Amino acid sequence: MNEIISNLAKSWDWDTPSKNLSDISQWSSNFSEVQELVTSMDGERIASVVRAGDESFTVCVNGEPWSNTFEKAWSLKFSPAGVLFVIAMNEDEWSVFEEDEPWNDTFEYVWNLNFSPNGKIAGVNVRSAEGYGASLNGETWEHKFVQVRSMHISNDGRNSAGSVQMEPLSEGDIVTFKKGIWGLAVNGHPWEQRFLNVWGCAFSGDGTRVAAEVRLKSGSQTIAVDGICWNEQFKAVWEPVFIPGTHEVIAPGLSSKGWQLHINGSPLWNQPFNQVWRQKFGPDGKRLAAVVSPDFGRWSIAVDGTVWKSTFSDVVIEPIFSFDSKHVAAAVKNNNRWTIAVDGVAWNQGFDMAWNPYFSPDGNMVVARIALGKNYFVALDGKLVLGPFEEMWDPIFSPDGESLLVKCVDDSRYFRKILPVKELLKK
Amino acid sequence: MGLAPLPLVNDAGMDLPIQELTPERIAVVFNRIMNTETAARFKVYMNTCVHCGLCSDACHWFLSNDRDPRFSPVGKVKQTLWTLVQKKGRVQPEFIKECSRIAQTECNVCRRCSMYCPFGIDIAYLLLTVRRICSELGVVPQFLQDTVNSHAVTLNQMWVKQDEWIDTLQWQEDDARAEVRNARIPLDKEGADVFYSVIAPEPKILAQLIGNIAQIMAVAKVDWTMPSFDGWDNSNMAMYSGDFETMGRVERSHHDAALRLKSRRIVMGECGHAFRGAVYDGPKWLGWREPPIPLIHAVDFYHELITTGRLKIIKKFSTPVTVQEPCNIIRGRGLGVKLREIIDATCSDFRPPEPDFEHNYCCGAGGGVINCGPNWKASRVKGNSVKAEQLAATGAHIVITPCHNCHSGIEDIISGYKLGMHVKFFSEILMEVIEIPDELQA
Amino acid sequence: MYELVSGPLVWIAFLVFFAGMIYQFLGMLRLAKKDKVIYPYMSLKYSLRSLFHWIIPFASRNMRARYEVTLITFVFHLSLILLPIFLAAHVVMFSFAWGPDWRVLPEMTAQFLTVLVMLACLFFMLRRLMLPEVRFVTEPSDYALLLIAAAPFITGFAANRQWFEYETVLILHMVSGCVMLMAIPFTRLSHMLFFPFTRAYMGSEFGSVRNARDW
């Protein structure tokens, strides 16, 4: 739950204890096929792609179908701001439908639907007769490319970037490839520099700079910021991030010592690891945490270079900070059981699945969505306090931390519940 | 020892890059790899081998080339590493082409020889080290390198673009629906039991296999998903060229895709090398002892579906069949018995090969060798006459090959030696013998 | 000369042998840490399972396929270890110097085993010369190692038979024995030390990672 979501959450209904918003079993009798359910962040709406006729599909929201029908429809998603999007096709023309309204442009193909972190802008990759590009809220990049392979949007949604292929390449042509034919296009304008590969991509907080992983030659990778490479090169690198409020870049790099985080090319934490990735800054923009492997086959989190005392055998997903940046939690898997670890201490109970944990606004509690078999539960500080449900989405703390928003399907009915945290803890 | 020279094969991936090499530059790269990337295994293996030659009989290349000692496992190590180590890497560029030919085109790193070495020396590991040296020097057979380039760009093996991938799944979903009611390929479904991954030749040239799996999943009522984003391809030729950084990136994206979708486990299609890459070589490089979430091979998965009754076998495939047991799932993961059990459950006339199980011969295509391209096909087929003899002796008409490399490799053996047999994936057999209940008939 | 060889040289040989073995062993342990998968993969159960199948004659497929090599190799290695330890003349010398003694091999048995070792060496040499796949990977050092291994037995046999001048032969015997001892840690004869570990690692990787047999 980032700051943007908690700001949005201020305007949500935190008073109605329970709303039964739709009877999903009714959907199944109205439509011959109901696909995966998605819910809006505020929980007020639940939607799915459904089959409207023999060969046609539509979108059903809280039981009501859209007026448009499609030959194909997929990638149904609510933006963080609560707007519903779907990628759909009729008569071989693909477009994005935003709340039952199509964008102006149609394409040969559309994919990679995602949103700016502030939730206001939706972007997709597109293919048209002229080539590959991207389209944001219906506005399509002017330039087209031989290929585009990703879609990144800056925080404010004003800038977009994707890795692009600048020249065609015929099968087996290793010579042209070696020259470097990949670049990064920002708002459709490619960097001057070309590389063997361009992967990943991150915007600075103000959206004016872009960093990406690039490969210069086999076994030599580095980070390029606005096309300019770090002086230092590595055997391999992983995704970069900008230090909040600055244009400094941090990325993991592999040297003969092992994996280390680097800032603008220089080692940041002294200790090399077997692995380090998913580095992330706390909301204060200062505390830095990353997933690390201190020993082969052991995984943990390091915060400002200090590794948690406990390590886990299978996987640690990513660090999640509390709002005051003082605490870090993560979904972890140890000996084939999932659980949540908070500041290095794992919950006692193991689960079949655990989603990312979230802190209460005061940082004292942690909530997570948990699965045991096919049943879903709300886990608060290690205890299952609600459930089982047939379906459930990530629970969200109210801005004052007093209540929890739980979105769930129970007995085939979709509920939006507001539950006082105090009472949940008594259970 | 008077040995006739081997036919000269031209390959742009070797001939051009060696022109840029010098003995000094080779020595720098060789010594860096020796100092920073090899340790106990390399040193102990090199110092322990007593040159007894007992590994020779393990190698299909040696057996098929009239016991030419240049093709024995230790012979390949001698022709590459012994000289490199002795000269501390100061060798002529042409020598590196030899190394590339021997390690990348004439060894399938199938690891049969490590079962024949009395000391258990992992000779395949030594030859993978040679591949690493070649790759770091930029000397890799053209088409293998092209495949690795594809992995690096697209994270899949065959330059499949993102839109082509999704489009293919949607098209295959339509095809599956024509057979099985409401069959689906659920894209990006969170929390599914099964994350199903394939290798890129499926969407590129064998798309019906994806349609088949959609039908099988629907009939067996499996809660499954496939990602619309990169990480859907489980194959990994970078592991074989020696480009371990690209190997690591490919494997990370595969496991990350399944983790991102919160899947309980990964099930992968019928491929052997992909299994090896995803289940140990890749995770090992990234720092995982085991894959982060359980990863099971199609053979294991079909075994589960059949033995638990989720797939009902209503008739048996009656044409005589034999099996090509893929090294990377039999010798590499002990799935031999399960493979036999699913064949027994679905086929009425099974002809076991000899030798079999862990001792089965490699198809000759694995280990990246088939990816070296058409220039190397003749030597590859010639280098596996024992496989032709072994298959012919079974008298079967169909060879079940639960691995893409085996599938293509055995096809080449069958046509090269005019065996008059056919190859099938196990899923193709399955499609002929399972019950599609009336309520699911489209 | 005799005193020099039977005294200091023997001491030095044993010292070099033991120190060398420890040095190589520690070096292996240190390098094994750098090879980051070794310790995490090692499994006692699968190490023993693998060793078991490879120290029992004919327990592995390749040993059955090459029965003559298997038979000769086992007899050779067994004799190589038993003879120096249980030879009456060695035990008497040890007991004379240090006190304790133990059961010894009957004279005839010892002679018989010595002949077997020499024949085995001859077999290994012929194998190197005649089998193309072995000759291809044979270096001069392989013959040298064979000679180092054979020499103490040839000279010992000659001394026992009182061929040539006894004291010279005896000195040659002791020198060759010392050379062999000292060569073990620093040549491919070090497989005496490394064999259980290479086998154990492969057994572990096959067993605990790949769920497969390695014999």
| B344: contact with A, CB 8 A cutoff | no
Distance from CA of A383 to the nearest CA of B (A): 21
Q: Which of A379, A380, A378, A382 is nearest to A417 (CA)?
A: A378
End-to-end CA distance of chain C: 50
Question: Are residue B152 and residue B301 in the same domain, yes or no?
Answer: yes
Q: What is the mean pLDDT of residues B377-383?
A: 97
pLDDT tens-place string over residues A63-117: 999 999 999 999 999 999 999 999 999 999 999 999 999 999 999 999 999 999 9
Q: Is pLDDT above 60 for B234?
A: yes
B36: left (phi over 0), alpha (psi -120 to 50) or beta: alpha
Residue A89 is inside which H or E element, if any? strand A84-90
Q: Is pLDDT above 60 for A132?
A: yes
Q: Which of C61, C131, C137 sits opposite B74 (nearest CB)?
A: C137
Question: Are residue B154 and residue B256 in the same domain, yes or no?
Answer: yes
| B119: contact with C, CB 8 A cutoff | yes
Q: Is pLDDT above 80 for B113?
A: yes
* Chain C (166-195) residues lying within 8 Å, Cβ to Cβ, of chain B: 188, 190-191, 194-195
- The answer to whether the CB atoms of B161 and A147 lie below 8 A apart is yes
Q: What is the mean pLDDT of residues B380-402?
A: 97
Q: Which of B52, B336, B355 sits opposite C134 (nearest CB)?
A: B52
Q: Which of B13, B136, B146 sits opposite A219 (nearest CB)?
A: B136
Q: Which of B48, B75, B333 sits opposite C212 (nearest CB)?
A: B333
- The answer to whether the CB atoms of C214 and B70 lie below 8 A apart is no
Per-residue confidence band for A230, with pLDDT thresholds at 50, 70 and 90: very high
Neighbours of A18 (CB within 10 A): 11
Going B254 to B260 to B261 to B266, the CA torsion angle's sign is positive
Instruction: Find, in chain C, the residue whose alpha carbon is nearest to that of A257.
Output: C34
Asked if residue B313 belongs to a domain, the reply is no
For chain B, percent of residues with pLDDT exceeding 90:
98
Which residues does chain A have within 8 Å of residue C37's beta carbon, measured at their own beta carbons? 296
Question: Are residue B180 and residue B68 in the same domain, yes or no?
Answer: no
pLDDT tens-place string over residues B153-189: 999 999 999 999 999 999 999 999 999 998 999 999 9
ipTM of the complex: 0.97
- Residue after which a domain boundary falls, among B307, B333, B355: B307
Q: What is the mean pLDDT of residues A259-272?
A: 95
CATH number at residue B64: 1.10.1060
CATH architecture, range C2-23+42-207? Up-down Bundle (1.20)
Asked if residue B127 belongs to a domain, the reply is yes
- The answer to whether the CB atoms of C194 and B47 lie below 8 A apart is yes
Average pLDDT of chain C to the nearest whole number: 94
Distance from CA of C154 to the nearest CA of B (A): 22
Task: Report the pLDDT value the prediction gives residue B1, as an integer from 0 to 100.
Answer: 56
The set of chains that have 3 or more CB pairs under 8 A with A is B, C
Rounded Cα distance between B60 and B384, Å, is 6
| B440: contact with A, CB 8 A cutoff | no
Please say whether the beta carbons of A316 and A308 come within 8 A: no
Helix/strand/coil for B98: helix
Instruction: Find, in chain A, the residue whose alpha carbon is nearest to that of C39.
Output: A296
Between residues A55 and A19, the one the model is more confident about = A19
Distance from CA of C161 to the nearest CA of B (A): 32
- The answer to whether the CB atoms of C137 and B69 lie below 8 A apart is yes
- The answer to whether the CB atoms of B289 and C202 lie below 8 A apart is no
- The answer to whether the CB atoms of B118 and C203 lie below 8 A apart is no
Which residues does chain B have within 8 Å of residue C190's beta carbon, measured at their own beta carbons? 47-48
Question: Are residue B168 and residue B81 in the same domain, yes or no?
Answer: no
Question: Are residue B301 and residue B154 in the same domain, yes or no?
Answer: yes
Out of A338-352, A374-388, C98-112, which region has the weakest mean confidence (pLDDT)? C98-112
Task: Report the pLDDT value the prediction gives residue C161, as an integer from 0 to 100.
Answer: 87
Q: Can you give the residue range of the structural domain that contains B282?
A: 147-307
Asked if residue B440 belongs to a domain, the reply is no
Instruction: Find, in chain C, the residue whose alpha carbon is nearest to that of A297.
Output: C40
Reading the block at residue C196, the tokens are 């259980």
Distance from CA of C51 to the nearest CA of A (A): 26
Reading the block at residue C210, the tokens are 């790949």
pLDDT tens-place string over residues A26-39: 999 999 999 999 99
- The answer to whether the CB atoms of C40 and A274 lie below 8 A apart is no
- The answer to whether the CB atoms of C134 and B40 lie below 8 A apart is no
Residues 6+ apart with CB under 8 A from A294: A273, A274, A300, A307, A311
Task: Report the pLDDT value the prediction gives residue C4, as an integer from 0 to 100.
Answer: 84
- The answer to whether the CB atoms of A275 and B287 lie below 8 A apart is yes
Distance from CA of B279 to the nearest CA of C (A): 9
B44: left (phi over 0), alpha (psi -120 to 50) or beta: alpha
The set of chains that have 3 or more CB pairs under 8 A with B is A, C
Asked if residue B2 belongs to a domain, the reply is no
Asked if residue B314 belongs to a domain, the reply is no
Question: Are residue B249 and residue B332 in the same domain, yes or no?
Answer: no
| B41: contact with C, CB 8 A cutoff | yes
Q: What is the mean pLDDT of residues C167-172?
A: 93
Question: Are residue B158 and residue B302 in the same domain, yes or no?
Answer: yes
| C67: contact with B, CB 8 A cutoff | no
Question: Are residue B274 and residue B174 in the same domain, yes or no?
Answer: yes
| Domains held by chain B: number | 3
DSSP C89-102: HHHHHHHHHHS---
Neighbours of C75 (CB within 10 A): 16
Which residues does chain A have within 8 Å of residue C41's beta carbon, measured at their own beta carbons? none
- The answer to whether the CB atoms of C210 and B331 lie below 8 A apart is yes
| C36: contact with A, CB 8 A cutoff | yes
Distance from CA of A294 to the nearest CA of B (A): 9
Instruction: Find, in chain C, the residue whose alpha carbon is nearest to that of B122.
Output: C202
| A296: contact with C, CB 8 A cutoff | yes
Classify each residue of B325-355 as buried b or exposed e, where b means 16 or more C-beta atoms within 10 Å of its C-beta.
bbbbbbbbbbbbebbbebbebbbeebbebee
Which residues does chain A have within 8 Å of residue C36's beta carbon, measured at their own beta carbons? 274, 296
Neighbours of C44 (CB within 10 A): 10
Q: Which of A402, A399, A355 is nearest to A378 (CA)?
A: A355
- Residue after which a domain boundary falls, among B100, B116, B140: B140
Rounded Cα distance between A23 and A57, Å, is 20
Asked if residue B442 belongs to a domain, the reply is no
| B70: contact with C, CB 8 A cutoff | yes
Question: Are residue B299 and residue B344 in the same domain, yes or no?
Answer: no
pLDDT tens-place string over residues B253-267: 999 999 999 999 999
Strand partners, B268: B197, B297
Which residues does chain A have within 8 Å of residue C40's beta carbon, measured at their own beta carbons? 296-297
Which stretches does DSSP call E strand in B303-433? 321-323, 398-400, 422-424
Q: Which of B69, B12, B98, B109 is nearest to B370 (CA)?
A: B109
Per-residue confidence band for B102, with pLDDT thresholds at 50, 70 and 90: very high
Which residues does chain C have within 8 Å of residue A296's beta carbon, measured at their own beta carbons? 36-37, 40
Q: Is pLDDT above 90 for A2?
A: no
Alpha helices, H only, A150-219: 174-179
Question: Are residue B202 and residue B298 in the same domain, yes or no?
Answer: yes
Which residue carries 């770091």 as its tokens? Answer: B136
What is the number of CB-based contacts under 8 A between chain A and chain B? 106
Distance from CA of C200 to the nearest CA of B (A): 8
Question: Are residue B414 and residue B294 in the same domain, yes or no?
Answer: no
Q: Name the residue ranges covered by the structural domains of chain C.
A: 2-23+42-207
pLDDT tens-place string over residues C24-71: 999 999 999 999 889 999 999 999 999 999 999 999 999 999 999 999
| A336: contact with B, CB 8 A cutoff | yes
Phi, psi of B187 (to 5 degrees): -90, 135
Question: Are residue B32 and residue B169 in the same domain, yes or no?
Answer: no
Residue B170 is inside which H or E element, if any? helix B162-177
Distance from CA of B409 to the nearest CA of A (A): 20
Neighbours of C11 (CB within 10 A): 11
- Residue after which a domain boundary falls, among B140, B167, B195: B140
- The answer to whether the CB atoms of C37 and A274 lie below 8 A apart is no
| C64: contact with B, CB 8 A cutoff | no
